[in-house]
Chains A and B, each alone.
Chain A
């Protein structure tokens, strides 16, 4: 304390009682009480949950790494990754098309977003799964002309492909809007500058606009990814053996409904927690250039070189 006082002393020599470096925060009785009550309730709730036999914690532990559950988990994760990748790529194309001055491109993109965002995902999944009742055959042909290649719909649309197509197209519609919002958030002067320097539109988008748009694209995309992991549980209705479907298949046999659902819940929470951490790192990466104090030279940044 005496050292700090010596350093922060006023020029006249004596310690200035008004120096904020020596300020203390008074003990806040109200806040301390609030903390105590909150912790007490939390501890009590944890104790109740841990001791309620209906949760069946031993059963949860027994089935947590069960091969069926692991199988379902890998299906959920795989489906999320594939559907999300297709959704992001397609969404990027749609988002850019929506912004284009070409009327054909922007209205086709608008139509896509209108349809896939305007109908429930569950309906879309069931629809894709039952595509064969609508079109028994899928073929590539010249419009109104001869058929080039043709497949039987039932051999192409398995539960897996129906799930991927359904989730990816729905995701693309949302990502298109997120990416369009991100592109709009970049200052108009940036694309103008890139153009003035002779960059093509494509290069300006890739090098200048998208990296800046990423700052406002990443947080809602993280949201979408977490939604997607949970949305994969919908594919259980088309007999796709995802995480939810696999715990259901177990409790249909053992009737341990709550413990098995707890297995699924804990896995979903674990995955989304990992993703939250990953999102934080990605946001920090795209926020570079926005951090005045990030570098060691920070204190000297405002020094002017004499002209």
Chain B
């Protein structure tokens, strides 16, 4: 698979990634490099393996073959004297510290207020002081337009507001990489816009993002590169104007024709 020629080291380096759930092969050899500051949007029909691939990057799913590196470290394993050793749960937890993730179902902690949701990982995982974490959290909540909802519980917020809190929560750990797993799929159509606007801001600020989504419009506007997946393979990859504007592969053409 062709990757753009760049001098920089890739932040994410996936090689020949295979993943099967029992007999069902979901990923059949994925190769992908994501460079610092890049926004990669992964498109594809349901069941193409795009969400699974995203979850492999921070080892929420373990892979069966191949390797994934983030920031030069192999995720989930360590090479010791030419022997690949599986890492302990706590060591994997440490590898995830700088990877933020936003989920389709928001997954806010329902027993905590919006502010408490945002400061949980900075205090508990990154050892920040409460004052420091709270100040930054208020700044982030303001950035996503929810400074007045800091003391509300997730149930008291709309879906779009919840997802924006979830984005603030992921930003609070000052991530090197952000993973978005279909962040707008569980939202009412009229709430999608506010979440996408927040994500566009982040893309403009140079955050490295991998976004799995069905929002073709977002891919067109915000992506540096679009990856189209189908049946566990990457079938097409390139600049959004090429992949979306002038798709070469028949599967991509068929998929995109439904959005025209």
Among listed A38-46, A170-178, A185-193, A241-249, interface-contacting one:
A185-193
Q: B101 — nearest CB in chain A belongs to which residue?
A: A196
Residues of A within 8 A of B121 (CB): 197-199
Residues of B within 8 A of A187 (CB): 107
Is B4 an interface residue, CB under 8 A from the partner?
A: no
CB contact under 8 A between A289 and B112, given known A295-B156, A297-B152: yes
**Bound: A203/B153 CA distance, A:** 21
CB atoms of A289 and B110 under 8 A apart: yes
Within 8 A of A (CB), among B164-197: 169-170, 173, 191, 193-194, 197
| A268-295 vs B, Cβ < 8 Å mask (1 yes, 0 no) | 0000000000000000001011111001
Is A14 an interface residue, CB under 8 A from the partner?
A: no
CB atoms of A199 and B111 under 8 A apart: no
**Bound: A190/B121 CA distance, A:** 13
**Bound: A266/B95 CA distance, A:** 60
Among listed A19-27, A55-63, A65-73, A205-213, interface-contacting one:
A205-213
Is B250 an interface residue, CB under 8 A from the partner?
A: no
Quick one: which of A189, A203, A307 contacts B103, CB cutoff 8 A? A189
Residues of A within 8 A of B101 (CB): 193, 196-197
Residues of B within 8 A of A290 (CB): 110, 153, 155
CB contact under 8 A between A195 and B154, given known A289-B110, A290-B110, A304-B194: no
Closest CB in chain A relative to B92 CB, distance in Å: 8
Residues of A within 8 A of B170 (CB): 197
Residues of B in contact with A, size category: 35 or more
**Bound: A302/B156 CA distance, A:** 8
CB atoms of A289 and B93 under 8 A apart: no
CB atoms of B156 and A200 under 8 A apart: no
CB atoms of B194 and A307 under 8 A apart: yes
Is A301 an interface residue, CB under 8 A from the partner?
A: yes
Q: A289 — nearest CB in chain B belongs to which residue?
A: B153
Within 8 A of B (CB), among A249-270: none
CB atoms of B90 and A200 under 8 A apart: yes
Residues of A in contact with B, size category: 20 to 34
| B50-70 vs A, Cβ < 8 Å mask (1 yes, 0 no) | 000000001010000000000
Q: A208 — nearest CB in chain B belongs to which residue?
A: B109
Is B145 an interface residue, CB under 8 A from the partner?
A: yes
Is B13 an interface residue, CB under 8 A from the partner?
A: no
CB contact under 8 A between A307 and B152, given known A198-B93, A288-B111: no
Quick one: which of B107, B124, B158 contacts A304, CB cutoff 8 A? B158
Residues of A within 8 A of B120 (CB): 197, 207-208
CB atoms of A196 and B146 under 8 A apart: no
CB atoms of A198 and B110 under 8 A apart: no
Is B160 an interface residue, CB under 8 A from the partner?
A: yes
CB contact under 8 A between A190 and B152, given known A198-B97, A200-B93, A304-B158: no
CB contact under 8 A between A288 and B107, given known A195-B60, A305-B146: no
Closest CB in chain B relative to A283 CB, distance in Å: 13
CB atoms of A307 and B60 under 8 A apart: no
Quick one: which of A193, A198, A289, A298 contacts B111, CB cutoff 8 A? A289
**Bound: A288/B120 CA distance, A:** 18
Residues of A within 8 A of B74 (CB): none
| A208-223 vs B, Cβ < 8 Å mask (1 yes, 0 no) | 1001100000000000
Residues of B within 8 A of A301 (CB): 152, 156-157
CB contact under 8 A between A200 and B89, given known A307-B194, A307-B197: yes
Contacts A199-B125, A292-B155 known; list 6 others, CB within 8 Å. Answer: A197-B170, A197-B173, A212-B109, A288-B111, A289-B110, A301-B157
Could you list 30 A-B pairs, sorted by A, with CB under 8 Å? A192-B107, A193-B103, A196-B60, A197-B100, A198-B94, A198-B96, A198-B97, A198-B125, A199-B125, A200-B93, A201-B93, A207-B120, A208-B120, A212-B109, A289-B112, A289-B153, A289-B154, A289-B155, A290-B153, A290-B155, A295-B156, A297-B152, A297-B156, A302-B158, A304-B194, A305-B146, A305-B161, A307-B145, A307-B194, A307-B197
Q: Which residues of A contact B (CB under 8 A)?
A: 187, 189-190, 192-193, 195-201, 203, 207-208, 211-212, 286, 288-292, 295, 297-298, 301-302, 304-305, 307
